Structure 1
Amino acid sequence: MLDWFITLHPVIQATLAGVFTWAVTALGASLVFLFNEVNQKLLDIMNGFAAGVMIAASFWSLLAPAIEHAENNGYGVWSFVPALVGFIVGGIFLRIIDAIIPHLHIGDDRDDAEGVDTNLSSTTLLFLAVTIHNFPEGLSVGVAFGAAALGVESATIASALVLTLGIALQNFPEGSALSMPIRATGASKGRAFNLGQASALVEIIGAALGAWLISEVTVILPYALAFAAGAMIFVCVEELIPESQTNGNKDIATLAVLFGFALMMTMDVALG
């Protein structure tokens, strides 16, 4: 059924995958037309689940293929180096972006905005917070398809598709978790939806860029895979997990992390 997809260039594959993850975000953002606010307990569960999915994806879909590729290409006992370097650089890159771009995490007051000082509205800052953290998700999808095209044993089209599905699963609640707080600031439902779905457009760019870089500069493959993993882990630890733990729903949010991790692990191992 997917024969037509397999024959496409990896950049096209990644771009289509990015469009899919964006569409799921838009679907989640569309809930703003049906509800005025999201239940806080449900939001904490969603954030925990998303963190679990991303942590599992970071290892099975990104770090493991990075290490395997290095082992198969002459790194020997140093096969951990590309994964280590890429992972650390990915996290540092996100930290630098966080420090530079003004943004506001969902649930925080306007005075708690991070990044450089700015007069931007709370609505714009909320949008920027989700947007800058969506880029590594798109990048991870792109490098996964690029790795599959290069024949890395554990980086197959199936595993790239599973990663795409995992990202999409956590994008649905993310879309609603952004559009509804924006609506609560006084924005119209249409504007709240538009900002919610637009926050994931960067995933399409990240996916295409990741696949293109891997296709053109193959030597960076293990570093790029680990870079995406480091960036995603940074998002989980810096944003998703703390947000799920600060509203009195720690236990169920933690269980959601475990469930998200288990689900993504199962899909990647069984289907990938």
Structure 2
Amino acid sequence: MIAFFQSLNPILQALLATLFTWGMTALGAALVFATKTLNQRLLDSMLGFAGGVMIAASYWSLLAPAIEMSEGNPVGNWFPAAFGFLLGGVFLWGIDKILPHLHPNTSIGEAEGVSANKRKRSTLLVLAITLHNIPEGLAVGIAFGALANGGTEAALIGALTLALGIGIQNFPEGVAVSMPLRGEGMSRRKSFFYGQFSGMVEPIAAVLGAFAVAFVEPLLPYALSFAAGAMIFVVVEEVIPSSQEKGNKDLASMSLMFGFVLMMILDVALG
């Protein structure tokens, strides 16, 4: 598989990798065909696990490479990572205030964004996970786009590992949309459609991210850290609170730690 990916254009690599992550979202959403409800403890543990994967990926796959690439920067090798990280958080904060959405495990009265109270619950849930998936798609796209500037086999394995980690944590995201909709009486087919639809943005964001850094090399450390900052904002603002709002705080916290360790092992051992 490594040899196959090496023969492809980095933008095509990013597209294929995020088609996999989108597929994992669809796989999670497909659980509605097997059951109408999912145990709340299991759902909360899956959300916590997803948060741990995202936190680990933000450092090992994004921030650490950004700092390494910034050696010799006249301001300091910390500057691109720090600036990009904060910019990513501010960017997601701005979108969070504008895009109407509803976090998993919350009531319709807690919807956020412009005119959120005028929209259906199904639409708000999909928009929330879509918002969640934008930085994930960017992260994968940027990792593959970096390979256009003479990336090594180790860098390719690191990008593939990041896509694998994002794919693993996309599974509970699909569940987090489709299961609540099914529980409210929506048909299995519609619940699945909305659940998998939330992952569709990842290939789009990945291609845009890969295209940008493949042709503008100096942007790379800023782009990597931007994606990291956006992902951390999503974890802190959405994933962790959603995993703990139903009272399963200890379970969700331990699941987050397991997710973090798994992604750390994958990144260090394979990347």
Partner of 1:41: 41
Partner of 1:6: 6
**Do residues 217 (structure 1) and 203 (structure 2) align?**
no
After TM superposition, the structure 1 = structure 2 runs for residues 141-220 of structure 1, keeping only pairs within 5 Å, are 141-151=140-150, 156-220=155-219
Matches of 1:127 and 1:107, distance apart in 2: 13
Counterparts in 2 of 1:218 and 1:138: CA distance versus 1, 3 Å: same
CA contact under 8 A between 2:147 and 2:214: conserved in structure 1? no
Give the deviation of 1:186 after TM superposition: 2.6
Counterparts in 2 of 1:155 and 1:242: CA distance versus 1, 3 Å: farther
Partner of 2:87: 89
| One-letter amino acid of the counterpart of residue 122, structure 1 | R
Deviations 1:202-232 (A, max 9, x none): 0010111111001121111000000000000
**Do residues 26 (structure 1) and 26 (structure 2) align?**
yes
Matches of 1:258 and 1:40, distance apart in 2: 19
> What SS does the corresponding residue of 2:46 show, helix, strand or coil?
helix
> What SS does the corresponding residue of 1:78 show, helix, strand or coil?
coil
| One-letter amino acid of the counterpart of residue 233, structure 1 | I
Partner of 1:137: 136
> What SS does the corresponding residue of 2:101 show, helix, strand or coil?
coil
| One-letter amino acid of the counterpart of residue 223, structure 1 | Y
Matches of 1:222 and 1:44, distance apart in 2: 34
Matches of 1:86 and 1:264, distance apart in 2: 22
**Do residues 105 (structure 1) and 103 (structure 2) align?**
yes
Counterparts in 2 of 1:226 and 1:58: CA distance versus 1, 3 Å: same
CA contact under 8 A between 2:105 and 2:246: conserved in structure 1? no
CA contact under 8 A between 1:123 and 1:185: conserved in structure 2? no
Partner of 2:241: 242
User: Percent of aligned pairs with the same residue?
Assistant: 57
| One-letter amino acid of the counterpart of residue 106, structure 1 | P
Q: Given the two structures, how large is their TM-score scaled by the length of structure 2?
A: 0.96
Partner of 2:77: 79
Deviations 1:226-258 (A, max 9, x none): 000000001110111111122221112111111
Deviations 1:144-163 (A, max 9, x none): 11123324679700000110
> What SS does the corresponding residue of 1:79 show, helix, strand or coil?
coil
Partner of 1:55: 55
CA contact under 8 A between 2:32 and 2:182: conserved in structure 1? yes
CA contact under 8 A between 1:65 and 1:155: conserved in structure 2? no
| One-letter amino acid of the counterpart of residue 22, structure 1 | W
Q: Which stretches of structure 1, 4 residues or longer, exceed 3 Å deviation after superposition?
A: 151-155
- Number of paired residues? 270
Give the deviation of 1:7 after TM superposition: 1.3
Matches of 1:103 and 1:109, distance apart in 2: 11
| One-letter amino acid of the counterpart of residue 99, structure 2 | I
Partner of 1:232: 231
Matches of 2:179 and 2:246, distance apart in 1: 17
Gaps of 5+ in 2: none
CA contact under 8 A between 1:90 and 1:230: conserved in structure 2? yes
Q: Given the two structures, how large is their TM-score scaled by the length of structure 1?
A: 0.96
Matches of 1:211 and 1:155, distance apart in 2: 18
Gaps of 5+ in 1: none
